[in-house]
């Protein structure tokens, strides 16, 4: 088990370096090949050539690629110094550079916004896991019943309705109509109840979409597992049906659900843009949308890196859990 | 316990009343029917037999003849897992050690399951839970019926693994099923089934999924353990060779009914039903020098929804036209005693059967 863990951690670290290299290539090397000048976009379209040259020197854009990669890595782990003539700026580690538009340092913005996205994703995941899996199991055990049919109709609705529909609907009802929540994001250290009130609608809306998918998958998997020979063996031992379901069937049902969870959590951290926009949450998704619109490369770079890291961690956790559940995975 | 008398339909033994039987296991007029969209599937349709402790009954038949459903019915598992489906219907009587199981409280039957009656299955890889160690699964089976701590149960599991011939049982007990070979898995399965000293062991095709070299070992193991524990054993198989040596009695099933049964040597060496002849003729034999081609039973097993009228075997029977008045296609033959304790359900007369066996079938085998 420990060897498996070490192997997975090592693989994750290698993946991260590969991601950094890939991101670097995409955002620094490709524009060069495409003839787009990063320095010009940093300064602005009608910039004076001397200023552009100053920026180019400052960012080290004329340096060979390997030294740029080195500086970039060094910036993340040890900080870097931008120097052009007498203009010296030191950027402490972890340094992801400065916005091309606002000249804001990227890293503080990331640390400011990432927790919001993470809260959104994790909170919603807890909700959809609990309700989706429970609904799926009940549906499987009561297949063909009124409960099963209505749950699956609701699930179909959940899968089909886009976030901006259910989100706006819930805003209209609970924020503007019933005035249960004030519909604003409040940091948790300011007011816990305020935070909860602000997060609950985004959580429920997002969880509705995913719970629907998870319920359907859980139902199908559970029905398949209940037909397995080892379930019959468990019954033949004289186990109570309840224990057969809980101990023998549930464990097998969890494996495909965990696999999905890893991918969904990763994707969500990188792209809960719709939910964040609908509910005006100051998360990464909104920021990266702005950054793309403004061609603000350092921000795109920073967001990509941090979300890749999150995806890797989410998948690592899921893989470890997977190995805990299924002993056959430990050998692989 | 039911006191309702089942009139007429009881096949075979002259016990028609519902009094508690003397045999250890007695099945009377067992019917298991599954309602489906296409109609009622009569998987088992009026089966009766008796089995004493320390004896082995072999139930033989093709796929779909109702062998496995019979065993699941005895275990009370015929409806298990039919979530949201139309439930199987079961009728008749199953007496185990003086208790009638079909009318008993399901929870009482559950408590008997695993303790008084245990089952081993065809494919030990799929029948063992892939996520739990062999030890965990045996310990669980033991602790359902014995109020002991995990340590005691673990010792018991190791003892059982040792008994079924698993080397280094104290180490292998912590292995997962995928770390065992096929034969070892079936041994572990047997250890799990026998951990509570059940008085009835049902082995459903216990060697079908195993290598030929391992099959004999597993059969020997079952025989040895039966001697040691003195339990009653039902071996279900499509392979007459498997049960020929092991079984005391044989029961040949066709389309959910018994077509022939009796002491194993009688059914094997003097069979009196054309279907049994067919099974014997289609079985490869290594103990004969010169052999003609194997003769398969023509056709395929009948639909269990529209079972042929008269004798269910008549469309495939080469001798269906011998009895007069088309009786094979209109009247269902009842089991009749052809010899002491040897029963067959066939319209052929005693003379016809003996002539066909000695002149046509026996020389070919």
| B97-119 residue pLDDT tens | 989 999 999 999 999 999 999 99
For chain B, helix (H) and strand (E) counts, in that order, are 13, 12
List the structure tokens of B104: 């008993």
SS3 B258: strand
- pLDDT confidence of residue B10: 37
Query: Which residues in chain A are contacts of B113 at CB distance < 8 A?
Result: 235-238
Q: Is residue B11 part of a domain?
A: no
Rounded CA gap, B59 and B237, in Å?
6
- pLDDT confidence of residue B292: 65
Q: Is residue B347 part of a domain?
A: yes
Rounded CA gap, B311 and B323, in Å?
12
The parts of chain B modelled with pLDDT lower than 70 are: 1-18, 285-292
CA distance A330 to chain B (A): 11
Across the interface, of B83, B128, B176, the residue whose CB is closest to A233 is B128
**End residue of a domain, out of B155, B173, B195:** B195
Q: A223, A233, A328, A331: best mutation site toward chain B, by most B Cβ within 10 Å?
A: A233
- pLDDT confidence of residue B288: 61
Q: Is residue B261 part of a domain?
A: no
Domain of residue B350, residue span: 271-285+294-364
| B21-35 residue pLDDT tens | 788 999 999 999 999
E strands in chain A: 80-84, 87-91
List the structure tokens of B100: 């009638």
- Global pTM reads 0.81
**End residue of a domain, out of B147, B173, B195:** B195
Domains and CATH numbers, chain A: 2-91 (no CATH), 106-214+255-331 (1.10.3720.10)
Task: Indicate the number of domains in chain B.
Answer: 2
Q: Is residue B89 part of a domain?
A: no
- pLDDT confidence of residue A330: 72
Q: Is residue B343 part of a domain?
A: yes
CA distance B129 to chain A (A): 5
Residue of A nearest to B128 (CA): A230
3-state helix, strand, coil in chain B (%, to 5): 35, 20, 45
Q: Is residue B354 part of a domain?
A: yes
E strands in chain B: 25-36, 39-51, 56-60, 89-96, 99-100, 117-120, 200-204, 232-237, 249-254, 257-263, 336-339, 342-344
- pLDDT confidence of residue B294: 76
Query: Which residues in chain A are contacts of B128 at CB distance < 8 A?
Result: 230, 233
Q: Is residue B206 part of a domain?
A: no
The parts of chain A modelled with pLDDT lower than 70 are: 45, 84-87, 271, 331-332
- pLDDT confidence of residue A85: 64
């Amino acid at each position: 088990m420990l060897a498996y863990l070490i192997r997975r951690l090592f693989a994750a670290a290698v993946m991260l370096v590969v991601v950094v290299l890939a991101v670097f290539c995409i955002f620094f090397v490709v524009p060069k090949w495409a003839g787009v000048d990063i320095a010009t976009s940093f300064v602005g379209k009608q910039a004076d050539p001397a200023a552009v040259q100053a920026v180019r020197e400052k960012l080290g854009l004329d340096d060979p690629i390997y030294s740029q990669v080195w500086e970039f890595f060094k910036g993340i782990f040890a900080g870097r110094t931008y120097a052009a003539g007498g203009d010296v700026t030191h950027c402490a580690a972890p340094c992801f550079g400065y916005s091309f538009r606002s000249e804001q340092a990227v890293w503080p913005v990331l640390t400011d916004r990432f927790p919001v996205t993470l809260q959104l994703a994790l909170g919603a995941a807890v909700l959809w896991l609990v309700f989706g899996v429970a609904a799926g199991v009940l549906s499987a055990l009561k297949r063909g019943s009124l409960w099963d049919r209505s749950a699956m109709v609701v699930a179909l609705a959940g899968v089909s309705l886009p976030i901006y529909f259910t989100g706006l609907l819930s805003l209209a009802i609970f924020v503007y109509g019933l005035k249960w929540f004030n519909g604003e994001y409040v940091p948790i250290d300011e007011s816990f109840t305020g935070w909860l009130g602000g997060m609950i609608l985004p959580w429920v809306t997002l969880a509705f979409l995913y719970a629907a998918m998870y319920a359907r998958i859980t139902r199908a998997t559970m029905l398949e597992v209940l037909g397995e020979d080892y379930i019959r063996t468990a019954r033949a031992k004289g186990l109570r049906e309840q224990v057969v379901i809980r101990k023998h069937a549930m464990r097998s049902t969890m494996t495909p659900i965990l696999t999905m969870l890893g991918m969904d959590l990763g994707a969500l951290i990188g792209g809960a843009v719709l939910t964040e926009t609908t509910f005006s949450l100051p998360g990464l998704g909104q920021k990266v949308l702005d950054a793309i619109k403004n061609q603000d490369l350092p921000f795109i770079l920073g967001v990509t890196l941090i979300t890749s890291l999150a995806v890797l961690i989410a998948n690592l956790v899921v893989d470890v859990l997977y190995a805990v559940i299924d002993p056959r995975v430990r050998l692989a | 316990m039911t006191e309702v008398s089942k009139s007429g339909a009881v096949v075979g033994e002259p016990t028609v009343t519902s009094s508690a039987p003397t045999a250890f296991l007695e099945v009377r007029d067992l019917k298991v029917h599954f309602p489906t969209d296409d109609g009622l599937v009569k998987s088992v349709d009026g089966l009766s037999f008796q089995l004493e402790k320390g004896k082995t009954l072999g139930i033989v038949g093709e796929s779909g003849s109702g062998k496995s459903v019979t065993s699941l019915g005895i275990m009370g598992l015929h409806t298990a897992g039919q979530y949201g489906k139309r439930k199987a219907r079961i009728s008749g009587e199953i007496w185990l050690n003086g208790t009638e199981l079909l009318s008993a409280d399901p929870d009482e039957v559950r408590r008997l399951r695993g303790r008084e009656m245990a089952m081993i299955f065809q494919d030990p890889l799929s029948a063992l839970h892939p996520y739990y160690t062999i030890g965990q699964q045996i310990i669980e089976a033991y602790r359902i019926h014995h109020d002991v701590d995990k340590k005691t149960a673990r010792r018991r599991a190791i003892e059982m693994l040792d008994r079924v011939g698993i080397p280094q049982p104290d180490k292998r007990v912590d292995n997962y099923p995928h770390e065992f070979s096929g034969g070892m898995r079936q041994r572990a399965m047997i250890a799990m089934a026998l951990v509570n000293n059940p008085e009835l062991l049902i082995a459903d095709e216990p060697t079908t999924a195993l290598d030929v070299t391992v099959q004999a070992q597993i059969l020997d193991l079952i025989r040895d353990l039966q001697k040691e524990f003195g339990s009653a054993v039902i071996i279900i198989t499509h392979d007459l060779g498997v049960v020929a040596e092991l079984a005391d009695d044989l029961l040949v099933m066709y389309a959910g009914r018994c077509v022939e049964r009796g002491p194993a040597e009688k059914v094997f060496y003097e069979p009196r039903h054309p279907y049994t002849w067919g099974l014997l003729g289609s079985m490869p034999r290594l103990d004969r020098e010169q052999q003609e081609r194997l003769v398969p039973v023509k056709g395929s097993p009948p639909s269990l929804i529209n079972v042929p009228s008269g004798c269910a075997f008549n469309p495939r029977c080469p001798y269906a036209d011998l009895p007069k008045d088309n009786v094979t296609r209109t009247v269902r033959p009842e089991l009749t005693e052809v010899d002491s304790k040897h029963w067959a359900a066939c319209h052929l007369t005693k003379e016809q059967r003996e002539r066909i066996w000695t002149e046509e079938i026996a020389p070919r085998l």
